Copies of this chain bind each other. A is one copy, B any other.
Amino acid sequence: MDMHELTRELKVKNHSKIVMLVADGLGGLPLEPGGKTELETAKTPNLDELARRGISGGSIPVKPGITPGSGPGHLGLFGYDPLEYRIGRGALEATGIGFELTDRDVAIRGNFCTLDAAGNISDRRAGRIASDESAPLAIKLRAVKIPGIEVFVEPVKEHRFVVVLRGQGLGGDVHDTDPQATGVPPLKPKASNPASQKTADVAAEFIAQAQKLLADQKKANGLTLRGFSAKPALPTFEDVYGLKAAAVAVYPMYKGLARLVGMEIVGKAQSLSEQFDVLEKAWNDYDFFFLHFKYTDSTGEDGNFDSKVKRIEELDALIPRVTALDPTVLIVTGDHSTPSLLKSHSWHPVPTVLVSKVCRTDGCTKFGENEAIHGGLGQFEAKYLMPLALANADRLGKFGA
């Protein structure tokens, strides 16, 4: 029996409000061993107040030592076991550019490549073609016509694009056509099960027509297809938690991830301050709010310790706007750590605080990695945060008599 079977059985509706504020890549590392992390360096009087009023801990995104991408990182926070629910690469790429997948879709990552006269790949990334050169080519591929199939092509960055095939009976399990080598031709699309044979056939036809459309190009005269994937089958927040959920995000990827679990995308905020405007306006219409703050991650990815500190302080300064709404449960956490020292996502537990009137406070007085170790939530897998939120909002009945 998994946690969703449990929460589905035990869920109770009431008028409580739950806010989950996700500072992407929040956790960090000190620049020198024994020093302070970005979060510990930042002046965060409002987050520290939450630590005093709440219960702290370290969220393990997937399992100890495992560094997640944005997909599994957010699925964990949303309470979907990231090892059980896998989002295919194509579906994640489509989600990341805001493409709304349907149950009849197969999403695929496309790469432009350079083919030599013999049809062998001479450059797998089409000479790292610039985005402004490649985008018109991706749009050109929309001319592909396949009977009974809708074809969508969307530019991404540089040599990358997304293809979505929409139609009846398209299974998502087709092998990559990228041979991961030069001097050989692209592979033929090959289904890994009978239910995906039609997809492989349609993909072969797409490639044949696309090659013709690209024949006059110098760099990008060929293509490979990777990460074939159907829309992931995720139960909704309403189904598993009984929550009407809103996502307030700026970037398409996080809107897309939220949409996959049945959240409604609310507002058109372009900054954290505007996200709080949206939150205030939508307050009466939803039970659950997911707010996503991107810049703690991007500054970490840039390796810019000081910028990450500033972004955390920017977040801190806006906390009074959410506490003023008096949510029943307020959570501040991250989908993973992004230490500026590493310039990348990492496996380190993410400092997390949960505030409610019945959370059992733990004596923590600051919000930070080291303080969180001593918090009452201990170290926990991210997937347990939603059941804890529901419990603190009095939205779970008793298990067994």
Contacts and interface: CB of A to CB of B under 8 A. Distances in A.
A400 interface: yes
A contact face: mostly helix, strand, loop, or mixed: loop
Contact of A65 (B34, B378, B387): B387
Contact of A362 (B65, B84, B362, B370): B370
A16 B389 CA distance: 41
12 contacts: A65-B388, A65-B391, A67-B397, A67-B399, A68-B400, A69-B401, A86-B400, A87-B400, A92-B400, A93-B401, A362-B373, A378-B378
Given A68-B398, A69-B399, A400-B71, A63 B373 contact: no
Given A30-B360, A360-B369, 16 more contacts: A33-B53, A34-B52, A34-B361, A37-B360, A58-B378, A65-B387, A65-B388, A65-B392, A66-B396, A67-B391, A67-B397, A69-B398, A71-B400, A349-B376, A370-B376, A374-B374
A363 interface: yes
Interface string A41-74: 0000000000011000010001111111111100
A12 to B, nearest CB: 11
B72 A345 contact: no
A93 B387 CA distance: 28
A118 interface: no
A204 interface: no
Interface of A: 1, 3, 6, 10, 29-30, 33-34, 37, 52-53, 58, 62-72, 82-84, 86-87, 89, 92-93, 339, 341-342, 344-349, 357-358, 360-363, 369-370, 373-376, 378-380, 384, 386-392, 396-401
B373 A66 contact: no
A401 B75 CA distance: 12
Nearest to A79: B65
B65 A390 contact: yes
Contacts of A379: 378, 380
A387 B34 contact: no
A72 B378 contact: no
9 closest pairs, A vs B, by CB?
A: A65-B387, A64-B384, A65-B391, A69-B400, A72-B400, A378-B379, A65-B388, A69-B401, A347-B391
A376 B373 contact: yes
B66 A401 contact: no
B348 A66 contact: no
Contacts of A67: 391, 396-399
Given A63-B387, A378-B379, A400-B82, A33 B361 contact: yes
Contacts of A380: 64, 379
B398 A65 contact: no
A399 B62 contact: yes
A53 B34 CA distance: 8
B66 A399 contact: yes
